[in-house]
Amino acid sequence: METVYKYCSGRGAAILENLEIKITPPNEFNDPFEFTPRMITSDPVRRAEGILNNEGHIGRLYNLLKSEKGTTMSFTEFQEYVRLNRSTMINGLAQFIPLAAAQMQRAQELLNKASKEFGVLCVSTRRDSILMWGHYGDRHRGVVIGFDGANDVFHPKGTRGLGAVRYVRERVVFDGAWEEFDPKIKVFDEQIIFSKNEDWRYEEELRAMFMLAQLRKGLSEDGSNLYLLPVPAQSIVSVTLGARCPENLEQQVRSALKQPSLSHVTLDRAVLHQSQFALSFEGG
């Protein structure tokens, strides 16, 4: 894998100084569609049958009944009630399930659940995007840091590792009728992580997932949590200063690159092309 690029504001200098990079939970992304599938239930009856065949689900139904209706039945008595009224309960649940799926989609339950456990590193195959410099590079005042995309740090064990995003027209579908170990769920997991609306195609994004519990926890300037991944010095290969990069940030970057462990890192600067809407690069 070739060099991948991280667009940064002035805080990008801290990546060089501290050798760690921020990993972002999906609910902090600027795209509200991230990790929010279209929720359907193609076979509500089958799903209802599956719920009533699972003691854990029955237990949750019982707890819901106790909290909302204040039933005096014991769990054992409720299990017997389910056994005797199975057909009626299946029909009732089957009518409720599509409504529940729609509510889960509106509440973004998958997004919120994933964001408590996982974070995402987002990088790009390109460093010359005028839009990304504007959006993520502090209006061309920041920096872009190049990383060796093949470095092990970006391919944690047990995950796919750094992979390309697919740009799609329609939202990824999750079917509530799938059984717990249906192979379609594994396909869905891959799709929801690596799919994004085609409007973002210009980003040419790659991403990798990380367990938040395995990262260093810090605090941002506003007091919110930060999750930081240590990166080896040898994984950093280049730094590009933005076309409007201020002198103080440039000096901060140059100072960080004086570390012996970063002596191999190349430094250059983005400049505006004289005749085209494009960026070119000059040695630093």
pLDDT, tens digit, 9 for 90 and up, residues 132-141: 999 999 999 9
Q: Among 120, 124, 279, which Cα is nearest to 201's?
A: 124
Same domain as 178, residue 239: yes
- Please tell me the distance from the alpha carbon of residue 110 to that of residue 128, in angstroms, as a whole number: 34
Same domain as 213, residue 224: yes
User: Could you tell me if 2 and 125 are in contact, meaning their C-beta atoms sit under 8 angstroms apart?
Assistant: yes
Residue where a domain stops, chosen among 53, 77, 107: 107
| Residue pLDDT, tens place only, 238-272 | 999 999 999 999 999 999 999 999 999 999 999 99
Same domain as 54, residue 28: no
| Residue pLDDT, tens place only, 194-250 | 999 999 999 999 999 999 999 999 887 777 889 999 999 999 999 999 999 999 999
Same domain as 31, residue 129: yes
Same domain as 44, residue 11: no
Same domain as 185, residue 83: no
User: Could you tell me if 164 and 194 are in contact, meaning their C-beta atoms sit under 8 angstroms apart?
Assistant: yes
Per-residue model confidence (pLDDT) at position 201: 97
> How is residue 78 written in tokens?
């409720």
Please give the single-letter amino acid code of residue 54. N
> How is residue 204 written in tokens?
């040419």
Residue where a domain stops, chosen among 107, 130, 163: 107
Question: In whole angstroms, how large is the CA radius of gyration of the chain?
Answer: 24
Total number of domains constituting the chain:
2
Residue where a domain stops, chosen among 107, 138, 155: 107
Mean pLDDT of 142-169: 94
Same domain as 46, residue 32: no
Provide the domain limits for residue 30: 3-36+115-283
Same domain as 203, residue 251: yes
The more confidently predicted of residues 167 and 94 is 167
User: Could you tell me if 256 and 229 are in contact, meaning their C-beta atoms sit under 8 angstroms apart?
Assistant: no
Same domain as 210, residue 262: yes
Length of the chain: 284
